[in-house]
A and B are shown apart, each in its own frame.
Chain A
Amino acid sequence: MCSIEVNHISKKLPDGRKLLDDISFWVNKGEFVGILGASGAGKTLTLRCLNGLLRPDSGSVLIREEGGAEQDICRAGKKELRKIRQKIGVIFQGYHLVKRLTVLENVLIGRLGQIGSIRSILYGFTDGEAEEALLALEKVKLTSHASARTGSLSGGELQRVAIARAIFQSPTLLLADEPISNLDPSNAKVIMKIIKPLSENLPVIGVFHQPEMTAHYCTRVIAIKEGRVIYDGSPHLSNDLLVEIYGDELKQIEISYHSLPSSLVNEQV
């Protein structure tokens, strides 16, 4: 997959209120796009439309394969959707791992869709797959925790396991729904540093609440307000734009945006 194209997607509540209003954008391989917006603006809804967890009322989400084949997630049948999802890695805000399984087992779940049901229940995963999963854990520096119960890990470690799962899935598109919202600043930086290089080989789209982070790590920012795209461009946002995106929320954001040490802002990734 080298690109994802979102064409005019809209979603309404039964009472007619618009949640998503004619959202369009496209993302290519090599891009790390951050979606920004105030709470309730429609960021997460947009992201859920991209892997079919939510179906928009109108519009299309086209995924283009390297060879030229094109698939519309919004019109895919149940089976087709499962097939497309096997190639879309998703990282969630609350990690959403199976706490009573080991770290390695949680990583292996990334390929659950790619093996048959009978095999997954009777036999499980092969040694080769387990080795690959360990390699994925090595990328997030958690190999030593492979056999630990997932429930015993800290927040930052859990998010790294979730990323390892996405890496092991060998996706052609990576979505991240507020991956750093639950983490302290230093853990958030660690996570962003792991995600950033992944975008060299596949499109990465993340929903964020931290303009300072997207300015530093993303290659592009899309801002959503009241279900509409109001900005799509450079990750370095002007103060006026921040006011427009966040309105009342701005004060807090501004403090964290401008109180960041210049060493971090200028640091090269």
Chain B
Amino acid sequence: MTINGFSLKRYRRTVLPLGLLLLVTVLACLDCGVSISQLWEGMVKGFSFLAYMFPPDWSAFGEMLQPVLESIVIAVLGTSFGTFLSLIFAVFAASNLTHPWIRQITRFLIGFERSIPEIIILLILVAAFGLGAMPAIIALTLGCIGMLGKLLADTIEEIDSVMLDSMTSVGANKLQVVFYGILPQILPNLVTYALFRLEINIRLSVILGAVGAGGIGYELEYAFNMLNYHRAMTAFLLILLMVLGTEQVSNLVKKRIKGREVLL
């Protein structure tokens, strides 16, 4: 039915799915016991708890700098090793560089890794290596491969394959093609992805720390367990500072790269 060119059918088509979605949401909330009153109560409790945590225990500030550094080191090492290994995996996972079979197998390995959360990898590694920074670094490295391996492989596949032909046509081998043809072309993406992953790894290193990798995450968890909330607040503020600081540094670098690429 059409009135003045306005189709009612079309109108219904947009309203109906939205109505259905709303209905499903309401039913799901009822099923899970989501209640507004409970949300309100919890929020009030949460805020009063936060207020209770103030003021932070400034005397713990100094002794927490060391764990903060440890968390940063874990994240940076995990990202560096991970980026390096991702690059190798990416080369084997790119259709314009390897045999389809090798590509499939490598892509499967990368996808398999991506499906396992870092925290589970850490739990397995802790059983093997014991507590400490090393299992956390390995867990973050593996996590890196799952994400960067795929992103970099896709980036490599976007490179003009005739350009690679032009390098093989002067007698260059695969390794030389990767170093002279692929690496320079994907460098901006490589740096951007690595920085993005560093931001993720900084947050992850806190969570992994709480599970047994040490660092500031452990300090936070320990303070909570000891019911020392002022100390926990100090750790919390330091984590906030660490995460925001990394983001700032990474944004600065990304901005500079972008500025230079635009000049091209």
Contact = CB atoms under 8 A, between A and B. Distances in A.
Interface stretch (A112-120, A217-225, A227-235): A112-120
Contacts of B165: 53, 92, 96
A88 interface: yes
A119 B163 CA distance: 22
Interface stretch (B91-99, B166-174, B233-241): B166-174
A109 to B, nearest CB: 6
A120 B264 contact: no
B173 A98 contact: no
B168 to A, nearest CB: 7
B180 A94 contact: no
A111 interface: yes
Interface stretch (A13-21, A78-86, A204-212): A78-86
Contact of B160 (A82, A83, A96, A110): A96
B162 interface: yes
A88 B165 CA distance: 13
B172 A109 contact: yes
A255 interface: no
Interface in B157-202: 160, 162-163, 165-173, 175-176, 179-181, 184-185, 187-188
Contact of B170 (A94, A112, A121): A112
Contacts of B173: 82, 113, 117
A112 B171 CA distance: 7
A100 interface: yes
A contact residues, range: 20 to 34
A256 interface: no
Contacts of B162: 92, 94, 96
Contact of A100 (B169, B170, B187): B187
A100 B173 CA distance: 20
A122 to B, nearest CB: 10
Contacts of B168: 53, 85
A112 B169 contact: no
B184 A101 contact: yes
A98 B177 CA distance: 11
A51 interface: yes
B166 A90 contact: yes
Q: Which 7 pairs show the lowest CB-CB distances between chains A and B? A: A113-B171, A86-B171, A96-B166, A85-B171, A112-B172, A96-B163, A100-B184
Given A92-B162, A117-B176, 8 more contacts: A85-B171, A86-B171, A97-B163, A97-B166, A101-B180, A110-B170, A121-B176, A165-B170
13 contacts: A85-B169, A86-B170, A89-B170, A90-B170, A92-B162, A98-B181, A99-B185, A105-B180, A110-B170, A112-B171, A114-B171, A117-B176, A120-B180
